[in-house]
Structure formats: C-alpha cells, structure tokens
C-alpha cells in the first residue's frame, strides 16, 4: 500500500469540508490520513464527524487561556505531537499569530469562501451580492499571519444568479468548496504543489495566478 499523507484538520463549526475529506479518504480517492481534528469549540459538529470516523479529536477552550498567544501555542504544540505533514484550516474561525505559524510555513492551508483578494474576513456571500458581482467562488491558500492573505493556490468560480441571496450563494458554493479542497490536497499529497518563499508552484513551475478548478475536476494553470 502506498503511504498516506498525514494531515491535521482544524475546524470550528459544521465540518462539511472535513466530511468531504473523510469521504474521499474512505473512498480511496485521496491518499491522506487525517491524524487529528482539533478545534476551539467543544460542541462543533466537525468534532462529532471526526469521532464518528474514528479520528482522534481535540477541543481547546480559548476562554481557559490567559491570552490568544497562549491558546495558539498550546494548540499548535498539541497538533504537532500528532506529526501531521500539513494542517488544513477547514472553517477554523480564528486568527493565528505569526509566531505559531512560522514553523508551519508552506505546511498550512486555508479554504475561504470568496475569490480572494476580494472579501477577506466574514460575510463574503453578502458582500459579493452587495457589490453586484457576476461571479463568486472560493479560494485555497497558504496561511500567513495576514488574515486570508497568504499565497494563493487555487480557486473555483460559479455564477451569481438573479434572485440569489447570501444563503443560496453559500449553499451552492459549498459543494464546489469541497471539490476544490479535495483537488488541492490530492496535488499536495502527490508533492505537485509547493510553496517557495511567497511563490506557489505546480510541478516545479511558479504560478503567476491561482489554479482554476474546472468543471471536470482538473486543476488548471
């Protein structure tokens, strides 16, 4: 059997992106091993999904730490003990400090529900509607201390339709997000995507713009 790529997932909420990874792992279409699912909310559905799948979980309560830095340090120390090669932020709704991120440069990614650099932060669907955008989407990027600002890996796009609300947009985007995250992880596990400084490469060639997930599931430059 080929070796599976060990990764940890951090999640704060519903965990549908985590579920997409679990499903792909189970189906044998993604050669990953989710070694830990950790979060900042004991009640998060993401943690229940992990338990159901037999994946170790960890929930830390930020309120029990003296400050943000202490929480971040403890979280990342514990995550590192599971020896993941990559950390995936899948709906992890906290900003992390530069010191804990530094040792993970190039080994931590985030999925965000907008076509970055548009709409960093919250309420991305509503903001896309209010701006009158014709197209919406989701981005996967390497994480730096700058909120939703690290080097871009890949995006998926979809049209905004007449009558769309922020709920319908979020709902329609979600399956695209799942496909995007799975596709990016397949490439990272195969060592096809990497970060060099601030440059992202595919098969050794530096990208001048984010990869685009096509309808057929191919990540195209």
When binding is defined by CB under 6 A, the residue of 15, 39, 137, 150 that contacts ligand GAR is 15
The yes or no reply on residue 193 touching ligand GAR (CB under 6 A) is no
The yes or no reply on residue 73 touching ligand GAR (CB under 6 A) is no
Is 176 considered catalytic here?
Answer: no
The yes or no reply on residue 90 touching ligand GAR (CB under 6 A) is yes
When binding is defined by CB under 6 A, the residue of 10, 37, 72, 113 that contacts ligand GAR is 113
When binding is defined by CB under 6 A, the residue of 40, 72, 79, 112 that contacts ligand GAR is 112
68 vs 83, which CB is nearer to ligand GAR? 68
165 vs 201, which CB is nearer to ligand GAR? 165
Give a three-class secondary structure readout of the chain.
Answer: CCCCEEEEEECCCCCHHHHHHHHHHHHCCCCEEEEEEEECCCCCHHHHHHHHCCCCEEECCHHHCCCHHHHHHHHHHHHHCCCCCEEEECCCCCCCCHHHHHHHCCCEEEEECCCCCCCCCCCHHHHHHHCCCCEEEEEEEECCCCCCCCCEEEEEEEECCCCCCHHHHHHHHHHHHHHHHHHHHHHHHCCCEEEECCEEEECCEECCCCEEECCCCCEEC
35 vs 37, which CB is nearer to ligand GAR? 37
Stretch near ligand GAR under the rule CB under 6 A, chosen from 34-42, 51-59, 110-118, 194-202: 110-118
Stretch near ligand GAR under the rule CB under 6 A, chosen from 50-58, 96-104, 108-116, 155-163: 108-116
Q: From CA 62, how far away is CA 68, in angstroms rounded?
A: 7
Q: Which residues form the interface with ligand GAR (CB under 6 A)? A: 11, 13-17, 46, 90-91, 111-113, 138, 148, 177
Residues marked active site are found at 112
């Amino acid at each position: 059997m080929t070796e599976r790529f060990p990764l940890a997932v951090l999640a704060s909420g519903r965990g549908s992106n985590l579920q997409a990874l679990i499903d792909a792992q189970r189906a044998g279409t993604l050669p990953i091993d989710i070694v830990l699912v950790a979060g900042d909310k004991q009640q998060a559905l993401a943690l229940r999904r992990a338990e159901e799948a037999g994946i170790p979980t960890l929930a830390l309560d930020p309120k029990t730490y003296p400050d943000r830095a202490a929480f971040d340090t403890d979280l990342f120390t514990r995550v590192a003990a599971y020896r993941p090669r990559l950390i995936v932020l899948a709906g992890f709704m906290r900003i992390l400090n530069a010191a804990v991120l530094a040792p993970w440069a190039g080994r931590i990614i985030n999925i965000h529900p907008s076509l970055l650099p548009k709409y960093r932060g919250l309420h991305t669907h509503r903001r896309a509607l209010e701006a009158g955008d014709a197209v919406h989407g989701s981005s996967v990027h390497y994480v730096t201390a700058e909120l939703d600002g690290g080097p871009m890996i890949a995006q998926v796009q979809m049209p905004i339709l007449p009558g769309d609300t922020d709920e319908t947009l979020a709902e329609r985007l979600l399956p695209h997000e799942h496909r995007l995250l799975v596709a990016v992880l397949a490439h990272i596990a195969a060592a096809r995507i990497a970060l060099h400084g601030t440059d992202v490469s595919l098969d050794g060639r530096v990208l001048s713009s984010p990869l685009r997930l096509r309808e057929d599931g191919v990540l195209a430059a």
